[in-house]
């Protein structure tokens, strides 16, 4: 790689920082341990800054539902897709679909689907206002799931852009491939934001 390309790739094309205007705490929250904690404060701000409609949200990577419940405060419907079996990066690796479904049953606008994202995206051709990708933090899976999400939503957010270089790289490549605008919020392990506008 030449010096010019190196500078272009690593500085000029690097991610624009996301600057929230207002932090707001959603009313409904799960009091559980999650690496996502803290990001709930900027979800309403993202919706407002990018003028997103609040009808449909899809999330890939629910685990115990921390982020799903955050989204349920703002969107009429939240679809949460997860194998509920954990992955190579999660601490919990035991099956927990029934347990999580029971815990989230009090939130009627959340629908949980036990599925690999690959099977889900092969048959869903509908559109969402917001998509969240927080699955296994490898390049290939993040890119594949993220590409579908970017093509089927107005805004796609990706957790762990700071803690997993593979996620950050996938998100940067997705911005190039789709032409969408890319921002990064560096706190709470990083949230990449791709916007279709």
Ligand X SMILES: C[S@@+](CC[C@H](N)C(=O)[O-])C[C@H]1O[C@@H](n2cnc3c(N)ncnc32)[C@H](O)[C@@H]1O
φ/ψ (deg, to 5) at 125: -120, 25
Contact between 61 and ligand X (CB under 6 A)?
Answer: yes
User: What would the two tokens of residue 70 be?
Assistant: 């955050």
In whole angstroms, the minimum distance from the beta carbon of 89 to ligand X comes to 7
4-12, 102-110, 132-140, 187-195 -> range binding ligand X (CB under 6 A)? 132-140
Single out the residue of 42, 134, 152, 189 in contact with ligand X (rule: CB under 6 A).
134
Exposed, middle or buried, 109 (CB in 10 Å: 0-12/13-18/19+)? middle
> Where do we find the tokens 């899976």?
141
* Sequence-separated (6 or more) residues with CB below 8 Å from residue 52: 46, 129, 130, 154, 155
Instruction: Pick out residues in 135-174 that bind ligand X (CB under 6 A).
Output: 135-136, 141
Exposed, middle or buried, 151 (CB in 10 Å: 0-12/13-18/19+)? middle
Give bridge partners of residue 155 from the DSSP assignment: 130, 195
In whole angstroms, the minimum distance from the beta carbon of 112 to ligand X comes to 11
Angle at which helix 139-152 crosses helix 165-178, to 10 degrees, equals 40
Nearer to ligand X, 68 or 180 (CB): 68
Q: Map residues 4-43 to x or -, x wherever contact with ligand X holds by CB under 6 A.
A: ------------------------------x-x-------
Contact between 72 and ligand X (CB under 6 A)?
Answer: no
2-10, 63-71, 149-157, 171-179 -> range binding ligand X (CB under 6 A)? 63-71
| Residue (of 102, 159, 149) closest to 128 by Cα position | 149
Cβ 90 vs Cβ 63: under 8 Å: yes
In whole angstroms, the minimum distance from the beta carbon of 117 to ligand X comes to 4
Q: Map residues 41-60 to x or -, x wherever contact with ligand X holds by CB under 6 A.
A: -------------------x
Single out the residue of 18, 66, 107, 185 in contact with ligand X (rule: CB under 6 A).
66
Single out the residue of 44, 46, 57, 63 in contact with ligand X (rule: CB under 6 A).
63
User: Using CB under 6 A as the criterion, which residues of the chain lie in contact with ligand X when the complex forms?
Assistant: 34, 36, 60-63, 66-67, 81-87, 90, 116-117, 134-136, 141
């Amino acid at each position: 790689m030449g010096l010019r390309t190196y500078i272009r790739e690593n500085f000029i094309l690097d991610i624009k920082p996301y600057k929230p205007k207002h932090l707001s705490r959603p009313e409904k929250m799960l009091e559980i341990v999650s690496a996502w904690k803290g990001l709930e404060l900027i979800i309403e701000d993202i919706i407002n800054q990018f003028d997103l409609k609040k009808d449909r949200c899809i999330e890939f990577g629910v685990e115990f539902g921390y982020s799903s419940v955050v989204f349920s405060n703002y969107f009429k419907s939240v679809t949460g897709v997860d194998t509920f079996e954990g992955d190579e990066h999660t601490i919990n690796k035991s099956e927990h679909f029934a347990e999580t479904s029971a815990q989230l049953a009090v939130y009627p606008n959340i629908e949980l689907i036990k599925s690999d994202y690959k099977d889900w995206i092969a048959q869903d051709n509908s559109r969402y206002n917001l998509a969240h990708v927080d699955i296994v933090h490898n390049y290939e899976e993040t890119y594949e799931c993220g590409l579908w999400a970017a093509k089927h939503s107005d805004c796609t957010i990706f957790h762990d852009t700071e803690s997993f270089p593979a996620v950050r790289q996938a998100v940067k490549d997705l911005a190039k491939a789709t032409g969408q605008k890319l921002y990064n919020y560096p706190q709470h392990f990083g949230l990449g934001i791709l916007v279709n506008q």
